[in-house]
């Protein structure tokens, strides 16, 4: 079932840049596809309209509200979502930017197969789902993906030092990596201070992402939904913005076991 109008109003109010009817239609259809896909394979533990609206659709779309990111999306630069799972944050972003060339990578083949079907169902022809491990696809000998993207982003894949080794090799020099992070951002940033320059990156900013949902508390949501709305707007959310200012050495990314056992 597509999303009811009140959830679309919630999304529109939370992310005012998303206000055209075609985008909201695609987001509503995406909700339906997520629920349907989840009956076949586990892509998310959240399937209620309020949970999907908040934690998948709105959360993903906050990425497009960050000026440095929005600039890349508006310009239609080559983008890449690494470790996209069932399609987040990439698919909601693609719903808002349907002509954006967006590669979406995940190591779980069945998630990518489902993502391909869902992108087709949404007529998102510029989305290219790729099944594979990020560290293999970005390896120096695999030219196609390495340093090929002006904008890379990722949510909920690894702690920042490991995530940077996985993702920065995909970013072209002059490009941007946006890592969507939660409560432990400060600690993860401190852990990454050595790794980021070693990978050719430089932190531009650690941007707090605020989502004001007060307007929704007078809308027709039940008490449980209102609690979730309050909880979501008070949660800590940050996007770490990392610029790629020089090429990544060929030795990175290392194999996953090395990256995780001995983070840079
Ligand atoms: N980004 C999605 C989201 O926020 O809903 C999915 C997050 S899920 C917790 C982590 C995903 O990262 C999984 O789908 C997993 O298959 C993928 N993943 C983990 N390590 C990876 C790697 N080295 N290369 C590609 N994908 C990876």
Pocket test for ligand 1, best of 80, 90, 107, 139 (most atoms within 8 A of CB): 107
Tokens 């394979």, residue located: 41
Residue 140 has a pLDDT of 77
Q: Is the CB of 256 under 6 A from ligand 1?
A: yes
pLDDT tops 80 at residue 142: no
Reported confidence tier of residue 43, pLDDT bands at 50, 70, 90: confident
What is the tens place of the pLDDT at every residue in 47-105? 899 999 999 999 999 999 999 999 999 999 999 999 999 999 999 999 999 999 999 99
Nearest atom in ligand 1 to 85's CA: 14
Residue 193 has a pLDDT of 96
User: What DSSP state is assigned to residue 2?
Assistant: P
pLDDT tops 90 at residue 2: no
Reported confidence tier of residue 231, pLDDT bands at 50, 70, 90: very high
User: What DSSP state is assigned to residue 107?
Assistant: S
Nearest to 130 by CA among 174, 81, 178, 191: 81
Residue with CA closest to ligand 1 atom 4: 155
Q: Between these two residues, 42 and 262, which has the higher pLDDT value?
A: 262
Residue with CA closest to ligand 1 atom 27: 83
What is the tens place of the pLDDT at every residue in 186-229? 999 999 999 999 999 999 999 999 999 999 999 999 999 999 99
Residue 156 has a pLDDT of 95
User: What DSSP state is assigned to residue 97?
Assistant: S
Q: Which pTM was predicted?
A: 0.97
Interstrand relation of 79-82 and 102-106 (parallel, antiparallel or unpaired): parallel
Q: Are 134 and 128 in contact (CB under 8 A)?
A: no
Share of the chain above pLDDT 90, in %: 93
H or E stretch at 175: strand 171-181
Q: Are 26 and 122 in contact (CB under 8 A)?
A: yes
């Amino acid at each position: 079932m597509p999303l009811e109008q009140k959830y679309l109003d919630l999304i529109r109010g939370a992310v005012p840049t998303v206000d055209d009817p075609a985008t909201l239609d695609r987001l509503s259809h995406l909700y339906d596809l997520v629920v349907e896909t989840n009956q076949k394979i586990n892509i998310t533990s959240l399937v209620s309209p309020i949970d999907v609206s908040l934690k998948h659709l709105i959360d993903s779309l906050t990425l497009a509200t960050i000026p440095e990111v929005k600039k890349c999306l508006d310009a239609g630069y080559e983008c890449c979502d690494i470790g996209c799972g069932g399609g987040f944050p990439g698919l909601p972003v693609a719903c808002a930017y349907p002509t954006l060339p967006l590669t979406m990578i995940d190591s779980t083949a069945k998630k990518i197969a489902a993502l391909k079907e869902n992108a087709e169902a949404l007529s998102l022809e510029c989305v290219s789902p790729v099944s594979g491990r990020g560290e293999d696809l970005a390896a120096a000998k695999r030219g196609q993906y390495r340093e090929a993207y002006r904008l890379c982003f990722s949510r909920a894949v690894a702690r920042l030092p490991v995530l940077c080794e996985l993702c920065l090799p995909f970013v072209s020099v002059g490009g941007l990596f946006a890592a969507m992070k939660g409560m432990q951002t400060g600690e993860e940033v401190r852990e990454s201070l050595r790794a980021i320059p070693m990978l050719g990156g430089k932190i531009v900013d650690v941007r707090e992402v605020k989502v004001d949902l007060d307007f929704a508390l007078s809308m027709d949501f039940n008490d449980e939904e209102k609690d979730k709305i309050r909880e979501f707007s008070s949660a800590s959310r940050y996007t770490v913005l990392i610029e790629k200012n020089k090429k990544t050495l060929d030795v990175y990314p290392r194999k996953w076991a090395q990256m995780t056992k001995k983070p840079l």
